[in-house]
Amino acid sequence: MTAASTILAKLTPPPANSVVTPERFKEGMPSFAAWMAAIEKNKETFQRHYDEWVPDMADIEAVKALVASKGVKVLVIGEDWCPDVWRGLPVVARIGELTGMETRFFLRDLNKDIMAEFLKDGEFESVPTVVFYDGNHNYLGHWIERADRANAEMPALRKVMEGVERDTPAYEEARAKYQLLTWDHAEDWRDAELSEFRALIEEALA
């Protein structure tokens, strides 16, 4: 099973009467600059992830071709306090800019009705949630939180926080160390995200 098959098999598509109509889609913020202007927290971290990522151009060109031929577009749901959003949303923004893919950003807590259609495990309001459509606004698939590679590698990194009592200076120190460790993996996780997006779109349009 491909990465895309794994993603699509785990997720429930939105209802036929989805609240994300073409008109509602257009209401989303149209650029990374607009997102940055709307948020209050972690702007430097978002910008660093945006600036540092060097995407694989073979993946970019493949997505670009699908944008040109099928009108692929994307909706992103996020919040500024979430580390997965810090890493994941700038990747979507860069892909959109490099491929011409229309990208719309929505704040989760101001768009609970949209979030309700894409709950993780039917329960959790996990972000980022990234939803792909074709040029006729047909749903192609969606992706939640982080790449499989990140899911596999994070548990080992989190060991620095094990056994440390929350809301203590020691916990804050351990958490800061964990965040530093994630930067060492950030480029690989961003690359994996792009690869999974490409696989998802290609499979949906096959």
Tokens describing residue 124: 């959790």
List, in sequence order, every residue forming a beta bridge with 133; answer none if it has no partner.
73, 139
160 within some domain: no
pTM of the model: 0.93
pLDDT profile of the chain (206 residues), mean per 10 = 50 92 98 98 97 97 98 98 97 98 98 97 95 98 96 94 91 92 96 97 96
Domain count, the chain: 1
182 within some domain: no
171 within some domain: no
| Contact indicator for 113, 158 with CB cutoff of 8 Å | no
83 within some domain: yes
103 within some domain: yes
Give which of 115, 126, 29 is closest to 82, Cα–Cα.
Answer: 126
Domain hosting residue 25, numbered range: 3-146+189-205
Give which of 74, 49, 83 is closest to 200, Cα–Cα.
Answer: 74
Q: What is the CATH number of the domain that holds 52?
A: 3.40.30.10
172 within some domain: no
Rounded to an integer, what distance in angstroms lies between the CA atom of residue 96 and that of residue 94?
5
161 within some domain: no
